[in-house]
Amino acid sequence: MPRLALYALVVCALAVAAAVVSFVQGSFLGIVWVLLAGLSSNMAWYYLRRAKAEKEAAAQA
């Protein structure tokens, strides 16, 4: 797994945990954490797909 994808997944998990804590405490700041979780999950997906495409391109070359 690419390092950037792993970092993005860690950020996603931490953002989800922060969103849960914020909503449990009654804060609407959790919305920001949910948005950050969505962004970081998309980044992880992108880096995984990019690494897969690079691996396939290297195998065909």
Write out pLDDT tens, residues 3-55.
Answer: 999 999 999 999 999 999 999 999 999 999 999 999 999 999 999 999 999 99
Start-to-end Cα distance in the chain: 21
Q: What is the pTM of this model?
A: 0.88
Alpha helix ranges (H) inside 1-61:
3-24, 30-60
Burial of 15 (0-12, 13-18, 19+ CB in 10 A): buried
